[in-house]
Structure 1
Amino acid sequence: MTQEIHGTVAAGFEAAREQFAAFVAQERPDYEGQLCAHVHGRRVVDLWVGADAGSLYGVYSSTKGAAHLVVALLVQDGTLELDRKVTYYWPEFGGEGKGSLTLRDLLAHRAGLIGLDAGFSREELADDRAVAERLADQKPFWRPGTAFGYHALVVGALTGEVVRRATGRTLQDVWEDRVRAPYALDFHLGLPEAEEPRFRSVQPMRPTPEQQAALDARPDGPHTLASIAFNTHVPDPGTLEDLANSRAVRARGPASVGGVASARGLAGMYAAMTSELDGRPPLLKPDTLAEFGQIHSTGYDLVQRTHKSFALGFQATADMWYPFLGAGAVGHSGAGGSQAFADPRSGLAYGYTRRRVAFPGGAAPENARLVRAVHTAALRG
């Protein structure tokens, strides 16, 4: 029995509902998900299945988009400078050959500081300060600036420590004061206890036998760059869903993976970043948006062992995911299946999240047809 789809779409965006309905009809009966989009600041798609539009989900690496919007704002203010060495803000960072690394390279996943030889405890992964302190003494896994690889669990802790050293405040506090609270966004880097009843615990998606065979064939030994970056080389690494389902992670909101949001919150953030919203001008000026949307690392990702493209703190969404989007589209997907981005050329801000972790991780496959439907409608105006 197909679940009921709730919500609305603006005239001209009916194809988004049709694509969402077609996907839901093929999904398992306990599917929960949300889809939201704005065009030039106007909400044009607001759909959900299961629970309600105000439900909050763990969005994993989609958190990096919020974290690096904060960095972009501080660069725009002049508080941070992209080509300053990280040690200018954080002197203790310079050991083990890291002294020449710039903030720009750090944001572009070029630091080679993907994790620790000894790994992190689960308690440490919930605490950006603890992660940053331990990484300050770690030798990079490649010469900084010479290559790139996804700093999956740590990039937000590293850039967050730069923010803290430069401002005296945590990245999470700056996010709350400058972005989340002014726009009343359902996107939390540190979920208050009072909001806990709105959180929907993440459910695992078990792979089919064919998918499991593909997983088993991957060369992810215990000492690879991938295992270090994703902290699976420790004795008890836990599961992906353990992160979002941990109250400690939700309460502290680690800036790489700890965000809790609805699709409205995801899309609303990117709408605020790039368009007039609620009578306020865009958070980022055109020059700042262009700088942070410019591709800085593209090609073979040493961690993920495939072609990837990163802008500054954001994924280069058109190159990595949806080539029909405009140049300069920026955002970040999440391991649970979430996807969120802004396409400044079409005015589109997109957010999608779901409760059950999508296989094999990263942006859930259904996003491809949902994004195309919304983007096509946005271009038609």
Structure 2
Amino acid sequence: MTQENTVHGTVAEGFEAVREEFTAFVAGERDDYEGQLCAYVHGRRVVDLWAGGAADSLYGVFSSTKGAAHLVAALLVQDGTLELDRKVTYYWPEFGAEGKGSVILRDLLAHRAGLVGIDAGFSPEEMADDRAIAERLADQKPFWRPGTAFGYHALVIGALAGEVVRRATGRTLQEVYEERVRAPYGTDFYLGLPESEESRFRTVQPALPSPEQQALIAAQPTGPRTLTSIAFNAHVPRPGTLEEYVNSRRVRAGGQASAGGVASARGLAKMYAAAISEVDDRPPLLKPDTVAEVGQIHSVGYDLVARTHKSYGLGFQATADMWHPSLGAGSFGHSGAGGSQAFADPRSGLAYGYTRRRMVFPGGAAPENEGLVRAAHKAALAG
């Protein structure tokens, strides 16, 4: 094992198998591997490991950002500020244009609104600005009849939820997250990275697909006007790459709530720990009824955008069904295109966060999470 591949950090008694799993994975990786793994059980940190970089390095976490956005929505539903079965137009009247007047908030959050992008596409400046995205989406006709199907609103769900939050509270989603989650819990998970923290950010590196994987990419039906290309804003003349997006200071500073978040594994895990457990003598952010609501599957089956089986709770991915079937029913979280994974499993008390610097092919939770999650969950159940 090279110096770069050395695993640092600690695990609590009973979680030694997690360190062994992480060490074995890192040993087989390229010398430039950087990644972090953190886990809590019932609010106590039990795994804190990293290789390459530093313990407090920050990485772009792509769609794991959506977990923070949906946690804000869940808190406001819990407060009574938002009501899931109200029409979105109750909060945001302009949203009703082009046949969207019947869409309820529950369907919006569950990727059922049919509003995955816009015909003309977004500019790079708009993609960094949730307010601009929301304004353009309000005038867009949905791509399917709302409520009849679902498809991953990959780059816009945070802007849609954020505009509802802003209309209901007078505060941006990012401001509510900072005030109610990040600042009081000291989580290293930012929706809007301050300039003072920029020195800790590690530039995202692109994936290195094998020749076989490159052939698979070339064979994908990603025409310029497919629903998938529109959802990923790939139908514009110069769409750019996902890593360029997260590596943009404009995106990091704005904290675009669909994919612009920056975090360490500690930050991801601590946010989910705080959602379901007492952490640092603070009560859980979510009450049991709210935990059950967000973890209940709302959309399951064929995803019109991803073109495969997916399942979502109230905005969050249904983690047990989509990624890790050994987890308890009602587990909720969100992975990211770069390979990050983060979730809470209320039945075992496990909160999990993983980050890495180099992106993985084809995106989503990196394959090493399979063994890492299994080891962490087994240890949590045995504790």
2:29 maps to which residue? 27
Show structure 1 runs of 4+ deviating over 2 A.
none
Instruction: Please state if 1:232 is matched with 2:249.
Output: no
2:149 maps to which residue? 147
Q: Distance in 1 between matches of 2:272 and 2:212?
A: 37
1:274 maps to which residue? 276
Q: Distance in 2 between matches of 1:240 and 1:72?
A: 27
Q: Distance in 2 between matches of 1:342 and 1:94?
A: 34
1:259 maps to which residue? 261
Shift of 1:195: 0.4
Mapping for residues 1-381 of structure 1, pairs under 5 Å:
1-2=1-2, 3-381=5-383
What is the aligned length? 381
Q: Percent identity at matched positions?
A: 80
Shift of 1:315: 0.1
Shift of 1:215: 1.0
C-alpha distance after superposition, 1:89-146 (max 9, x if no partner)? 0000001110000000000000000001110011111000000000000000000000
Q: Distance in 2 between matches of 1:377 and 1:40?
A: 13
Shift of 1:366: 0.4
Q: Distance in 1 between matches of 2:57 and 2:258?
A: 21
Cα-Cα RMSD: 0.5
Shift of 1:220: 1.1
Shift of 1:184: 0.6
Q: Distance in 1 between matches of 2:317 and 2:115?
A: 18
Shift of 1:339: 0.1
Q: Distance in 2 between matches of 1:228 and 1:156?
A: 16
Shift of 1:316: 0.1
Shift of 1:219: 1.1
Q: Distance in 2 between matches of 1:327 and 1:206?
A: 34
The one-letter code of the counterpart of 2:143 is F
The one-letter code of the counterpart of 1:91 is P
Which ranges of structure 2 fall in alignment gaps of 5 or more residues? none
C-alpha distance after superposition, 1:223-258 (max 9, x if no partner)? 111000001111100011011100000000010001
Shift of 1:17: 0.6
Q: Could you tell me the TM-score, scaled by structure 2's length?
A: 0.99
2:99 match: secondary structure: coil
1:213 match: secondary structure: helix
The one-letter code of the counterpart of 1:9 is V
Q: Distance in 1 between matches of 2:294 and 2:364?
A: 22
Q: Distance in 2 between matches of 1:289 and 1:367?
A: 23
C-alpha distance after superposition, 1:143-197 (max 9, x if no partner)? 0000000000000000100000000000000000000000111000000001000
Shift of 1:26: 1.0
The one-letter code of the counterpart of 1:7 is G
1:95 match: secondary structure: helix
